């Protein structure tokens, strides 16, 4: 037996003006789940506590709640001392009980065809990864888009895709999904990461539905323009001046001893719009003994096409990029754009290893920079945090230069074609970021993705910097101090 102290969200609209948190000290057995903590509170301390549960074995989805902010099933999440237990981010009815009905009702029902045909084994295998949903609504609770715009929600999109794969359904789910907000998804992937059944809604439902929408000519005009540009120029964004590739040598030798060699995949944003950031990164790498090879034939990775469902030209891009690096005999390709990195890692079949710049810098013992007298907050790029599972590395690097103040990891709205396709949503999401940034009191915002950096900088008055730029500033400060010392 062990004693746990927990903090529980309480709200009874009949008696309370405001929700409040209550502390409980409960005794539970080894291995107890959060549900057993709730039972202990209800049975032994406070019978007024309201919460839903049913199967107790992770199969029905009734007991979804949030523990320390993250949606989980109470019956499978192991209870720990000091946790905060809250309802899902849906309208609260009482305590941990929320109103699920509107989102459950938004899930489409199969409309049987006149002629019945059994799905084939292949069809069943395609449907299965989308079928294990237990309707717990963890995805709906976590979806950032739903906080700023109306849409049917991630799991409704999942069901639309499952129905489109099923030969027994007679309805046009694609048109329905478009009407229900298919293009509002920023592909932040939080729905997948919180799903207790690990359903990959962005990749297996949203992007697939967008591809089907593309076949029906339902792609948003702004997205079609991006596709056209990629076909014509190999790039997804306009150039703002001299590009990165135009101003850099094909091989950058480090200043000192060579500790390692990487190929560099620059990506459209850093190449066309923010070349200085990429140049800063090159300086940091050279200073730390990393030789960088930069094939000039590289083009757009295709991420904007995959996210918006326009995959006709994707194969060509993939082949050309892979050839560019293979041709140079490169076995490790570094990305510094979170979107490109996630795409190369997850949507390519690369014959080389793909590694993010944050991983590269931590892999090699980098030179310590000087500390800057600056308080910074870090914005987790979705395609870095969830797309590549990179969470600790950027924080470690940042903490070597400046003081880091955390803020919640929420999508800024720049991904999934939303910035171009549904700009008012992208702006609303960035506005939410601005508020979080403000709360931290940070002087600057640091990130590690050109889309996030570009988008956030338009919505906050704080400077937005890439991690490598801040590191470089730390090195310059160090040099300056050293120079001063030498002068004295």
Six token digits for residue 20: 């409040």
> Please, are residues 311 and 211 in contact by the beta-carbon 8 Å criterion?
yes
Q: How far is the CB of 319 from another protein (least distance, A)?
A: 31
Tokens read off for 463: 């400077």
68 binds another protein (CB under 8 A): no
Q: Which one among 91, 112, 312, 408 touches another protein, defined by CB under 8 A?
A: 112
Site string for another protein, 306-335 (x = CB under 8 A): ------------------------------
162/307 with CB nearer another protein: 162
Query: Using the rule CB under 8 A, is 6 a contact of another protein?
Result: no
C-alpha span between 344 and 350 (Å, rounded): 7
Check if the beta carbon of residue 379 is closer than 8 Å to that of residue 407. Answer: yes
| Contact pick of 25, 55, 240, 251 for another protein (by CB under 8 A) | 55
Pick from 166, 347, 356, 436: which binds another protein (CB under 8 A)?
166
- Chain positions 169 to 208 lying near another protein, rule: CB under 8 A, are 169
Of residues 20-49, those binding another protein (CB under 8 A): 28-33, 36, 42-44, 47-48
Give the one residue of 9, 19, 84, 127 binding another protein; rule: CB under 8 A. 127
DSSP secondary structure code for residue 224 in this structure: H
The percent of the chain in helix, strand and coil, each rounded to the nearest 5, is: 45, 15, 40
Closest distance to another protein from the beta carbon of 85 (Å): 16
Is 292 strand, coil or helix? strand
426-432: which pairs have CB atoms within 8 A and are 24 or more residues apart?
A: 426/186, 426/455, 427/459, 428/148, 428/149, 429/144, 429/145, 429/148, 429/186, 430/455, 430/456, 430/458, 430/459, 430/460, 431/459, 432/144, 432/147, 432/148
The answer to whether 368 touches 475, Cβ cutoff 8 Å, is no
Q: Are 212 and 249 in contact (CB under 8 A)?
A: no
Kindly state the smallest distance separating residue 253's Cβ from another protein, in Å: 47
**Helix H or strand E segment including 473:** helix 467-487
Applying CB under 8 A, the span of 91-99, 256-264, 346-354, 437-445 interacting with another protein comes to 91-99
Closest separation in Å from C-beta 131 to another protein: 5
Answer for which of 7, 19, 22, 59 binds another protein (CB under 8 A) is 59
Residue numbers at the binding site for another protein (CB under 8 A): 14, 28-33, 36, 42-44, 47-48, 50, 53-60, 75-76, 93-94, 97, 105, 107, 109-112, 116, 118-121, 124, 127-128, 131-134, 163, 166, 168-169
């Amino acid at each position: 037996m062990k004693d746990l102290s927990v903090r529980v969200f309480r709200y009874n609209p009949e008696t309370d003006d405001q929700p409040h948190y209550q502390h409980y000290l409960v005794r539970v057995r080894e291995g107890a789940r959060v549900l057993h903590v709730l039972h202990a509170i209800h049975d032994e301390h406070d019978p007024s506590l309201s919460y839903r549960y049913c199967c107790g074995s992770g199969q029905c989805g009734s007991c979804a709640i949030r523990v320390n902010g993250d949606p989980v099933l109470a019956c499978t999440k192991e209870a720990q001392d000091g946790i905060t237990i809250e309802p899902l981010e849906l309208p609260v009815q009482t305590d941990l009980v929320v109103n699920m009905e509107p989102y459950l009702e938004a899930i489409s029902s199969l409309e049987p065809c006149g002629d019945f045909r059994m799905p084939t084994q292949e069809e069943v295998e395609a449907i299965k990864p989308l079928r294990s949903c237990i309707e717990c609504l963890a995805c709906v609770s976590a979806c950032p888009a739903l906080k700023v715009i109306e849409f049917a929600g991630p799991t409704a999109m999942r069901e639309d895709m499952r129905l489109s794969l099923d030969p027994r359904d007679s309805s046009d789910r694609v048109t329905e999904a478009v009407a229900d907000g298919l293009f509002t998804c920023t592909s932040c992937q939080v729905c997948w990461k919180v799903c207790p059944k690990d359903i990959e809604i962005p990749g297996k439902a949203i992007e697939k539905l967008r591809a089907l929408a593309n076949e029906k000519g339902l792609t948003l005009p702004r997205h079609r323009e991006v596709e056209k540009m990629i076909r014509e120029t190999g790039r997804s964004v306009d150039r703002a001046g001299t590009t990165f590739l135009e101003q850099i040598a094909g091989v950058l030798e480090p200043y000192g001893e060579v500790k390692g060699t990487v190929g560099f995949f620059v990506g459209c944003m850093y190449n066309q719009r923010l070349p200085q950031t990429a140049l800063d990164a090159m300086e940091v790498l050279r200073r730390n003994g990393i030789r960088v090879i930069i094939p000039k034939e590289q083009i757009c990775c295709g991420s904007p096409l995959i996210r918006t469902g326009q995959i006709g030209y994707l194969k060509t891009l993939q082949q050309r990029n892979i050839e560019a690096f293979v041709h140079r005999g490169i076995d490790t390709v570094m990305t510094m754009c979170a979107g490109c990195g996630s795409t190369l890692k997850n949507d390519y079949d690369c014959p080389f290893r793909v590694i993010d710049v944050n991983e590269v810098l931590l892999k090699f013992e980098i030179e310590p920079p000087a500390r800057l007298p600056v308080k910074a907050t870090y914005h987790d790029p979705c395609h870095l945090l969830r797309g590549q599972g990179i969470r600790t590395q950027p924080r470690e690097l940042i903490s070597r230069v400046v003081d880091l103040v955390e803020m919640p990891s929420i999508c800024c709205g720049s991904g999934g074609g939303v910035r171009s396709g549904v700009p008012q949503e992208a702006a609303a999401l960035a506005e939410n970021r601005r508020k979080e940034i403000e709360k931290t009191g940070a002087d600057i915002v640091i990130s590690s993705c050109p889309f996030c950096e570009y988008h956030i900088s338009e919505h906050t008055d704080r400077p937005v910097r890439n991690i490598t730029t801040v590191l470089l500033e730390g090195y310059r400060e160090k040099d300056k101090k050293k120079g001063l010392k030498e002068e004295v």
